[in-house]
């Protein structure tokens, strides 16, 4: 292990984190809020630690697989620990609660332990939501885009942190790929922020809710989430931008380059939009003929909530925990679907669901043609045997993690529905679940061990299981998972 390169990159990451806290510090300073002192101390500590670690001598600049895995995993943990300091130093939350909250923010989960969000100081609220925007595209990708590169080793960081079964570079150089992705990210952010401001939101609230939407996180400034804004315009703007944020960001670049035929032919995008449409229609009809008297209102809430769950954003305009069981069952299944690969959404990912459908179809075909060699093709390209095995094993690992997590959380006696949805909502980076963790509830009543376990599930969910598990696995397995 090249500890020097690991500490050096972590130092750069901490120095960057101290800079990212400055807007929150300035807001606290401008408003004279009680969190000012906490931000000043945190920025000083974080910048100092980053400066010292970043100046450590490095014998070899080359980064291998093990270093890449360590930097990504430790990077998210260290970033979360230092990011939790403002909450602790201001006396707002205990360390475990603060760590849970920041992990939830950075992993774009949106689960919260804060029972009254509206009394938080403006600086803390801003930092809390900004963590969504930072974590949405990836904190290491941010470092690659805006700080000096580490040569060929940056691809290990990109590959380990990027959502989806593969990590394709848009441009030959990793830095150029990261800049293209973040340029797209920033443009979408600015457009939504402008539209929400036009709809009557203050610039402050428009910014924070945009961070939660584009990052598919779900932190709000209101206890009632988006339901606090009694505006169909605001609901629809956020719903559509949640949907846009669940699309593979490389498709936006293809649109910019005029390659529209590739976008329309994209199988993952077609399946993603089809699932949203079918789920919205099914829930709308169920709501209309059960508890809603207005069809358009049922359609609006169904469309919003379907997008909030499938993109793993977790915003709410209605208490879907009191919806009919049919609608709740659809939403629960969507918790395992997630957004597209290369998006800010969490979950299993549409591309893997598409693979599963094609695998089932192939196995059925082989019943009639047992000797036929039928490759699985996505986007016209046949997937290699290694990719097939990787995706299939990911499903198995995801289910095993969900089951084990549910068993452990159920030890608190909160009920099967609450335990299962809490685990599904954290490993899928969604936030709210059902019953004990419904859209009007928080995670505050969980014990310290459960909060730490759920924090771990949020992290491995965001890093898609393998990155964390491969780090603690034997060396040979580590090399197989992340070759190159």
Binding-site residues for K(+), please? 108-109, 217, 312-313, 429
Q: Within 13 Å, how many C-alpha atoms sit on residue 49's CB side? A: 18
- Scanning the structure block, which residue is given the tokens 């230092």? 82
- Crossing angle of the two packed helices 122-137 and 95-106, in degrees rounded to 10: 50
Residue with token string 């609006």: 300
- Bridge partners of 378, per DSSP, are 381
Residues 6+ apart with CB under 8 A from 392: 359
- The phi, psi pair for 377, rounded to 5°, reads -115, 135
**In this structure, what token pair is assigned to residue 465?**
């299981």
Rounded to the nearest 10 degrees, the angle between the axes of helix 350-368 and helix 385-409 is: 120
Please say whether the beta carbons of 113 and 105 come within 8 A: no
Length of the chain: 484
Which stretches within 147-226 are classed as H helix?
Answer: 154-161, 174-198, 203-214
Q: Which of 264, 255, 46, 75 is nearest to 156 (CA)?
A: 75
Element holding 278 (H helix, E strand):
helix 267-288
What residue numbers does the annotated binding site cover? 108-109, 217, 312-313, 429
CA distance 286 to 312: 22
Cα–Cα distances (Å) from 443 to 176, 333, 384, 421, 439, in that order, read 40, 21, 42, 12, 11
Give the span between the Cα atoms of 223 and 439, in whole angstroms: 10
Residues 6+ apart with CB under 8 A from 320: 305, 327, 328, 331, 438, 439
Do 215 and 132 contact (CB within 8 A), yes or no?
yes
User: What three-state secondary structure class fits 377?
Assistant: strand
Q: Are 347 and 429 in contact (CB under 8 A)?
A: yes
Region for 218 from its dihedrals, namely left if φ exceeds 0, alpha if ψ lies in -120 to 50, beta otherwise? left
The DSSP annotation for 42-78 comes to: HHHHHHHHHHHHHTS--S-----HHHHHHHHHHHHHH
């Amino acid at each position: 292990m090249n500890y020097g390169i690991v500490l050096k990159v972590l130092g750069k990451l901490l120095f960057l984190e101290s800079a990212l806290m400055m807007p929150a510090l300035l807001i606290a300073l401008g408003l004279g809020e009680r969190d000012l002192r906490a931000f000043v101390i945190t920025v000083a500590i974080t910048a100092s630690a980053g400066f010292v670690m970043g100046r450590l001598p490095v014998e070899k600049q080359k980064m291998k697989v093990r270093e890449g895995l360590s930097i990504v995993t430790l990077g998210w943990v260290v970033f979360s620990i230092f990011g939790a300091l403002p909450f602790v130093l201001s006396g707002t939350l205990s360390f475990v609660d603060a760590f849970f909250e920041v992990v939830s923010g950075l992993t774009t989960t949106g689960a919260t332990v804060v029972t009254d969000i509206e009394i938080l100081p403006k600086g803390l609220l801003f930092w809390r939501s900004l963590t969504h925007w930072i974590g949405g595209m990836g904190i290491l990708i941010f470092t690659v885009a805006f700080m000096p590169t580490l040569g060929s080793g940056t691809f290990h960081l990109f590959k380990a942190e990027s959502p989806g079964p593969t990590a394709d570079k848009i441009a030959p150089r990793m830095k150029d790929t990261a800049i293209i992705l973040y340029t797209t990210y920033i443009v979408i952010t600015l457009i939504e922020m402008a539209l929400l401001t036009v709809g009557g939101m203050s610039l402050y609230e428009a910014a924070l809710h945009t961070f939660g939407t584009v990052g598919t996180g779900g932190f709000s400034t209101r206890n009632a989430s988006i339901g606090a804004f009694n505006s169909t315009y605001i609901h629809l703007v956020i719903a559509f931008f949640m949907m846009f944020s669940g699309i593979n960001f490389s498709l936006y670049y293809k649109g910019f380059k005029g390659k529209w035929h590739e976008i329309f032919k994209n199988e993952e995008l077609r399946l993603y939009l089809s699932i949203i449409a079918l789920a919205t229609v099914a829930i709308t009809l169920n709501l209309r003929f059960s508890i809603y008297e207005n069809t358009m209102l049922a359609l609006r809430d169904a469309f919003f909530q379907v997008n909030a769950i499938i993109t793993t954003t977790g915003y709410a305009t209605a208490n879907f925990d009191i919806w009919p069981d049919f609608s709740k069952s659809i939403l629960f299944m969507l918790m395992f679907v997630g957004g597209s690969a290369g998006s800010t959404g969490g979950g299993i990912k549409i591309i893997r669901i598409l693979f599963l459908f094609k695998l089932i179809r192939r196995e059925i075909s082989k019943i009639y043609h047992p000797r036929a060699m039928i490759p699985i093709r996505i986007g016209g390209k046949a997937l290699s045997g290694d990719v097939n095995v990787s995706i299939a094993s990911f499903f198995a690992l995801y289910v095993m993690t969900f089951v084990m997590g549910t068993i452990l959380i159920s030890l608190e006696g909160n009920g099967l529905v609450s335990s299962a949805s809490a685990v599904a909502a954290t490993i899928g980076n969604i936030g709210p679940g059902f019953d004990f963790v419904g859209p009007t509830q928080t995670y505050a009543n969980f014990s310290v061990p459960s909060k730490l376990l759920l924090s771990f599930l949020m992290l491995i969910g965001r890093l898609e299981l393998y990155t964390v598990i491969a780090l603690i696995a034997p060396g040979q397995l580590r090399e197989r998972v992340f070759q190159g």
